[in-house]
A and B are shown apart, each in its own frame.
Chain A
C-alpha cells in the first residue's frame, strides 16, 4: 500500500531528480556508483521527509540533504576511485587535450572539476546551480566570507589545471 506521504514524496523527487543526478555525476565516475549514490540520497531524503515542513522549497531542502549524503553519509564502495585529492602535478591535463573549441573546453573543464576534493566539488556545484554565497555558506556551515575566499581559490586551481 502506497501511503499519501509516499505518494507526495515520490512525485516531488521525480520532478527534482535532476538535482540528485547532477550530484551523483560529480561525486561518482561510473554508472553503478551513480545509481548507488542516487539510491542512498533517496533513502536519506525519504527518512527526513516527515520533518520537511514546506517552509522552504523542496529543492532547497533537497540540495542540503543530497549534498550531505554525498559528502558525509555515503560510504563509497570499492569500485569507486573519485576521492583522491587534487595534486598539482598528478592531475594536470595534457596540453594537447586542451582544444579551443567550446565543447572540448567544457569536456576538459568537467574533467578538472572531477579532480577537486569533496568540499570543493560541493562549492562548485552550488555555484553552478546559481546559489548565492549566503545559501552556499549555510549549506556547508562556513561563513560567507570564507565561502567566497574558497571559491576564488578553486577558480585559481581550475585555471592552473587547465593551463599547465
Chain B
C-alpha cells in the first residue's frame, strides 16, 4: 500500500508552563491510502489533541512542540505547513456537528463558500455544486435542505453537512474526532456507513478517534491504543482484538461487554490516568497495572515489534496477568 501521511515524533506542549509539560507525545503515526486508522483511548488520553495538532488548530495554550509531518503529494513526500494542509489535503470532522456549523449561515451557503474558495467558481455554480455534495453524503431532498439553517436539521443531517464540507475541500484524509458520539445509535450506523462508502469511492484515508471499541472493531484496519498521551499498542485491528499484548489494552477489552461470553462481570480499570504535570519517567500506566515492577517505574518502555506483527510498549508484553 502507498503511504499518505507520515508523522514522526509529534509532541504537543503546554505553551506557557515553567517546566516543560507535554500532554501528548512523542508519537508516530502513519496512514495509507484507503486505510482507516483507529485511535482508541479514554478521555484525556490525547486522541483529539493529536488530530487537532495535525492541522494545528489546538486550543489556546497548547502548541505543536516537536515532530515532523509529511504527506504524499503526487508521489513525493513533502513537509507542508499545517495551514497549507487545511481545506485541501486534510479535513476534520468533529464530535459536535451542531457546534461545527455557523448558526447564521444557511447550510448551502456554508458549503458553497468553501466550494468558491477552492475552485473560484461563480456564486450560482457553487450553489449547484453544494447541492451535489449534499446528495453525495445522502442528504434527502438536497435542493430544499440547502436553504435550511443549521438549527433546523437533526444531528445526523448536521454531521452529513460537516462531512460534505470536508468533501468540498477535496480532502484525501479525513480526521474524524468521535464523529458519532453525539448521535443516536441508528444514526451512528448510517454515518459510519457513509464514511466507509466515501472511503471506498474516493480512496480516502481516515483517522478515526473514539473510545468506542465496538465501533472501532467494525471500521478500523489498524488501531493505535493511546494512554496518557502515548501510543501503548498498535497493529492490525484483528490482531489487537484477538490477542492484546499490553496490560492496558487487555484491561480495556475486559471492560467491554461481549454478547457471546455473557458470563461474569465486566472488569473496570482501577484508578485514573495521571495528570500531564506529573507524568513519571517510567511507564505511565504503571500505577494502575497489576504487572508493574521496579523496572516499569524506572524507565519508560518503548514500542517494540512483536512476532504477531503488532507493536507494544511494555516490558511485560504478552504476559498473562
Q: Are A and B associated in one complex? A: no
- What is A's interface to B at a CB cutoff of 8 Å? none
- What is B's interface to A at a CB cutoff of 8 Å? none
